[in-house]
């Protein structure tokens, strides 16, 4: 590969660890993707055409197995949810859950979230952006791969409506401090908990099994809620 191509390749905030899909997850892809899946073409994504109802849209980046997203969609039928995840088994698991609970307010993208934010979302198209427990890339030499950087803050700011919320959560204190630094430095956001303060976990964020296990082991969790200024 030419050296110029290597330099232009974007840094990914994830590593594909696909694993093997179960038979049920594979069947979900075949049967349910036409209902819940969204394919990205060139240009911007018109979210109003993707959902059955015209409602405020929440984007969850990296939904894992989709359990939190399913709970949110079930508890908040007055909202539409767009989930982005690159790992196939998690996508299949979420579609199974959506079908079992007959939820129609969720759509799924199997895509790089940064590419979505850079090229495919219309400005002011989202009411909320959720980033729960992203890969911490805890080794210092890998910190550059964390998704929360200056570009991320700017792209989320563009995608949110005025008054829209970016909600992040992590169980890595070092990453929490980086999140705080990046978002506090952006002039277009206001920390809902006050300058430099973390927020208590809002009731709207489901408590995951992963988080419950961490609490039993004495791990802390840090929530950050930033509002886009007008």
pLDDT band at 4 (very low <50, low <70, confident <90, very high): very low
Picking from 66, 180, 60, 200, the residue whose alpha carbon sits closest to that of residue 130 is 60
Contact by Cβ (8 Å): 160, 122? no
Contact by Cβ (8 Å): 215, 156? no
Catalytic residue, chosen from 99, 112, 135, 171, is 135
Q: Is 99 a residue of the active site?
A: no
| β-strand pairing of 80-84 with 57-61 | parallel
Percent of the chain topping pLDDT 90: 73
pLDDT band at 6 (very low <50, low <70, confident <90, very high): very low
Res. 96: pLDDT tops 60: yes
Residue 92 half-sphere exposure, CB side, CA atoms within 13 Å?
17
CA separation for the pair 83, 74 (Å, rounded): 14
Asked which of 66-80, 112-126, 141-155 is least confident by mean pLDDT, the reply is: 141-155
The arrangement of strands across the sheet holding 106-109 comes to 106-109, 80-84, 57-61, 126-132, 160-170, 222-228, 189-191
Q: Quickly count: other Cβ atoms within 10 Å of residue 74's Cβ.
A: 16
**Can you give the pLDDT at residue 213?**
78
pLDDT digits (tens, 9 = 90+) for 126-152: 999 999 999 997 777 758 889 999 999
pTM of this prediction exceeds 0.75: yes
């Amino acid at each position: 590969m030419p050296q110029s191509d290597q330099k232009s390749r974007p840094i990914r905030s994830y590593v594909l660890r696909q694993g093997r899909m179960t038979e049920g997850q594979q069947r979900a892809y075949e049967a349910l993707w036409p209902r819940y899946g969204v394919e990205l073409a060139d240009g911007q994504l018109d979210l109003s055409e993707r959902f059955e109802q015209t409602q405020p849209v929440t984007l969850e980046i990296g939904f894992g197995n989709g359990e939190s997203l399913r709970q949110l969609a079930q508890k908040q039928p007055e909202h539409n949810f767009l989930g982005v995840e690159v790992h196939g088994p998690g996508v299949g698991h979420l579609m199974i859950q959506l079908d079992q609970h007959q939820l129609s307010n969720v759509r799924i993208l199997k895509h790089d979230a940064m590419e979505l934010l850079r090229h495919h979302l219309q400005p002011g198209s989202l009411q909320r952006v959720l980033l729960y427990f992203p890969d911490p890339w805890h080794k210092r030499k890998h910190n550059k791969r964390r998704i929360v950087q200056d570009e991320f803050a700017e792209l989320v700011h563009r995608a949110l409506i005025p008054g829209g919320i970016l909600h992040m959560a992590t169980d890595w204190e070092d990453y929490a401090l980086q999140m705080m630094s990046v978002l506090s430095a952006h002039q277009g956001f206001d920390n809902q908990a006050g300058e430099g303060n973390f927020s208590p976990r809002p009731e709207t964020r489901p408590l995951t099994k992963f988080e419950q296990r961490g609490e039993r082991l004495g791990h802390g969790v840090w929530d950050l809620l930033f509002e886009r200024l007008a």
